[in-house]
Structure 1
Amino acid sequence: MKKIVLTLLLVSFIACEKEPSLQKYFVEKTESTDFISIDMSTSMLNIKPEVLSLEQQEALKSFKKMNVLAFKLTEKNKTKFDGEQTKVKEILKDEKYQELMKFGSGKEGAAVYFVGKDDAIEEFVLYGSKDENGFAVVRVLGDKMNPEDFMTLLSALQKSDIDREQLKPLEGIFK
């Protein structure tokens, strides 16, 4: 009986692993020289609570971390660009990623997606691309966030004292 249960668990684990997800994509691409990866926790944002409104403080409490993965286009990796961009777009077509808004068109644009329910969002995903520079995917992970929290968090980030050196690798992606 134990062998059957163990076998079923193993088979279900393997079956689940085959589905593409942004988390798996991030893990796979983190070590690639074509990608730039940055992980940021709330402590790295260096936001002093006293400079935030109560609304901004509450929004910040729902935020856990942010993962950034950017493909910086160069002469050497032009052939990989379309393939990697297609992979990300395919992952974002999954029904668990609900589109919140989209802007831009043609060779550049951006979109915001979320995972979860309107009043209990677990993850916001920002995807932006510019054909001559590359693309970036930002995962904003949190606990019971909502779209208003996300917008409030963005306004709170303007009051952060982020070490700009940490973001230096992203320069040139979206000029």
Structure 2
Amino acid sequence: MKNLVILLFGTLFLVSCADRPSLQKYFVKNTESSAFIAVDLPPSLIKTDKFVLSEAEKEALKSFDKMNILAFKSDSSNAVAYDKEILEVKTILKDESYQQLMKVGSGSDGASIYFVGADDEHIEEFVILAGKKENGFAVIRVLGTNMNPTHVFNMIAILQKSDVNLEQLKPLQALVK
């Protein structure tokens, strides 16, 4: 009986430690790759000292922890690599922990927004996947605590009003050109 219990716990341990792909692992694997541009943005990027925040904007800013951006720059010489990488990201986002919130565009041009959380009022992570085959794609992870879709829209409004330190975004300019 004791051996059966040990075997059961051992099997449970191995199954719970399954090496499933995740965005976190994908970011770590590709951050140092020359094919990718990686940028981490802290909340201090957003300068709000020159305007007054509404209560909703304060709450949105408080829920935001950081943003990670990983971008793959595409050109005619790496079309096969683009297809491989975008497929890997899309496969990860098919996992049940990612719930699609919105999708725009079609085919190889477009963007999708996903979230991870217990429900749509307690979101831990928003993921934006945007791409255009000619330029490349970017995966943006917005990490926070108890975020909700309204927080995201309020954060966009704050970013539009704020004095953002664009120096931290310089590595992404090559992708946009």
Please classify the TM superposition score into its range, dividing by the shorter chain length. 0.7 to 0.9
Report the equivalent of 2:67: 66
State the shift of 1:165 in Å: 2.2
Aligned to 1:52, the other structure's residue is in SS state coil
Kindly tell me: are residues 88 and 136 of structure 1, through their superposed partners in 2, closer, same or farther at Cα, counting changes over 3 Å? Answer: same
Q: TM-score, normalised by structure 1?
A: 0.88
CA contact (8 A) 1:34 1:77 kept: no
Letter in 2 for 1:109: G
The structure 1 residue matched to 2:120, chosen from 112, 118, 122, is: 118
- When residues 14 and 80 of structure 1 are mapped into structure 2, their CA distance, relative to the original with a 3 A threshold, is farther
In structure 2, runs of 5+ residues without a counterpart are: none
CA distance in 1, matches of 2:68, 2:36: 13
Question: TM-score, normalization: structure 2?
Answer: 0.87
| Cα deviation, residue 8, structure 1 | 4.3
Q: RMSD across aligned C-alpha pairs, in angstroms? A: 2.3
Partner of 2:146: 144
Q: Does 1:81 align with 2:67?
A: no
Task: State the Cα distance separating 1:13 from its structure 2 match.
Answer: 8.6
* Pair member with larger Rg: 2
Which residue of the partner structure matches residue 172 of structure 2? Answer: 170
Describe the superposition over 1:26-79 as per-residue Cα deviations: whole angstroms up to 9, x where unpaired: 000000000000001101222328432221111100000000000011344322
Q: Please show how residues 97-112 of structure 1 align to structure 2 within 5 Å.
A: 97-112=98-113
Q: CA deviation at 1:109?
A: 0.2
Contact 1:66 1:141 in 2 (8 A): yes
Correspondence for 1:158? 160
Gap runs ≥5 in structure 1 = none
For residues 77 and 35 of structure 2, the distance between their equivalents in structure 1, rounded to whole angstroms, comes to 9
State the identity as a percent.
52
Residue 145 of structure 2 aligns to a residue whose secondary structure is: strand
Q: Which amino acid aligns with 1:60?
A: L
Secondary structure of 2:21's partner? coil
CA contact (8 A) 2:41 2:168 kept: no
